[in-house]
Copies of this chain bind each other. A is one copy, B any other.
Amino acid sequence: MSITKDRLYEIIFEADTKSGKIFDIALLIVIILSILLVVLESVPSIERDYHDVLKLSEWLITGIFSLEYMLRIWIVQKPKAYIFSFYGIIDLLSVLPSYLGLVIVGTHGFMVIRALRLLRIFRILKLNRYIKEGAIIVRALRQSRIKISVFLFAVLTMVIIIGTIMYLIEGGENGFTSIPRGIYWAVVTLTTVGYGDISPTTSLGQFFASFVMIIGYAIIAVPTGIVTVELSKQNSKDASTQVCPNCLADNHTEDALYCNQCGKKLNQTQSLRKK
């Protein structure tokens, strides 16, 4: 059973064949295990008790990822393009810290870069049907990105002004030691997170804070409204996938019979096939 380069490409980069799917699932499991490893390693008590097991697993996973990385470079047509692509860099960063850890007596933070392995999951997820629904959400967020930017800009302005006022009202003795800290408090309050690590103690401060919270109450409605409207539009757009056979325009309403760009009759088969 000789495995050709083409076949390997199919297995590693694609997911249409059975072996391609098995490869993806295996990789998914290894990635999740590797993330778990990074997370567990950071817990002092676990690191102490299972130091050897963790070390061994780490090298095993690094080995698997290294092999996979080299295979990918070998079988891909344009290795350079892959190496400098987003996923190429992520793949490299997945294994590099372990090797560098041998040379440099690495800082702890350095090893944590491996948490980026998590992003590798998204490559695999490309393949399954969850993507379509995910794409709707992403498209809705992208469509509303200007509205949300405007909103976030307004929130940023409010937060700076509120933070400054609160810094003046409460002052350093109540935890509002500087304007940045006041702004931090304003963000914590306006987003309704409310840690309580800094909170107003003077009467005037509490009055102003109440005012800010009630404002925030009405304001939190805005991003929700934006995204809801956009999602609802995405949904109705989703209904028709017709493409005009004449001019290739594709933004038709579901009940359209004629192309709204060139007036030609639309081919109904695609629409019918859907049912």
Contact = CB atoms under 8 A, between A and B. Distances in A.
Contacts of A134: 147, 150, 154
Contacts of A73: none
15 contacts: A38-B164, A38-B179, A115-B179, A121-B157, A122-B157, A129-B146, A134-B150, A180-B206, A183-B210, A191-B192, A193-B213, A218-B227, A255-B260, A258-B261, A259-B263
A189 to B, nearest CB: 6
A96 interface: no
A44 B225 contact: no
A235 interface: yes
Size class of A's contact patch? Answer: 35 or more
Query: Within the oligomer, what is the number of copies of this chain?
Result: 4
Interface of A: 35, 38-39, 42-44, 109, 112, 115, 118-119, 121-122, 129-130, 133-134, 136-137, 140-141, 146-157, 160-161, 164, 167-168, 172, 177-181, 183-184, 187-197, 199, 201, 203, 206-207, 209-210, 213-214, 216-218, 220-233, 235, 251-253, 255-265
Contact of A224 (B157, B221, B235, B256): B221
A183 B36 CA distance: 12
Contact of A221 (B226, B264, B265): B226
A206 B232 CA distance: 36
A106 B219 CA distance: 36
B115 A160 contact: yes
Nearest to A189: B193
A149 to B, nearest CB: 7
